[in-house]
């Protein structure tokens, strides 16, 4: 299963967003992996952020991410950088409209 999301970050602190993602906590990385996430990438264009990852069971993966303590701490850590509400950051994701295999 493929999952994609879009976030908006605050103008003027794009470098801070990049810096924080260059140093993602080890326990956050472990939680993402344990939740079944693989092939995870984040791209930024100005204040627009696009993320993509894959998993076997989207419902189980989102439940694991959204119920984890480390994700709650990460979301709090990112609140001053990201405009998008925490409840919308790992929700249903974006609708896939095209795929070329």
CA 17 to chain centre: 12
Question: Which residues, in sequence order, are bridge partners of residue 3?
Answer: 53
What is the distance between the alpha carbons of residues 70 and 43, in angstroms, rounded to a whole number? 22
Question: Could you report the per-residue pLDDT of 11-58, keeping only the tens digit for each?
Answer: 999 999 999 999 999 999 999 999 999 999 999 999 999 999 999 999
DSSP secondary structure letter of residue 96: P
Q: Is the pTM of this model over 0.75?
A: yes
Catalytic residues: 21
First-to-last alpha carbon distance for the chain, in angstroms, is: 14
Give yes or no for residue 86 having a pLDDT over 90.
no
* Count of alpha carbons within 13 angstroms of residue 81, beta-carbon side: 19
CB contact at 8 A, 45 and 52:
no
What structural domains and CATH numbers belong to the chain?
2-89 (3.30.70.100)
């Amino acid at each position: 299963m493929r999952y994609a999301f879009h976030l908006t970050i605050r103008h003027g602190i794009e470098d801070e967003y990049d810096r924080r993602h260059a140093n993602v906590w080890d326990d956050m990385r472990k939680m993402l992996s344990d939740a079944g996430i693989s092939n995870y990438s984040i791209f930024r264009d100005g204040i627009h952020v696009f993320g993509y990852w894959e998993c076997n069971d989207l419902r189980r993966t989102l439940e694991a991410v959204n119920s984890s303590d480390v994700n709650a701490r990460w979301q709090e850590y990112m609140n001053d950088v990201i405009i998008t509400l925490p409840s919308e950051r790992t929700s249903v994701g974006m609708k896939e409209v095209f795929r070329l295999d």
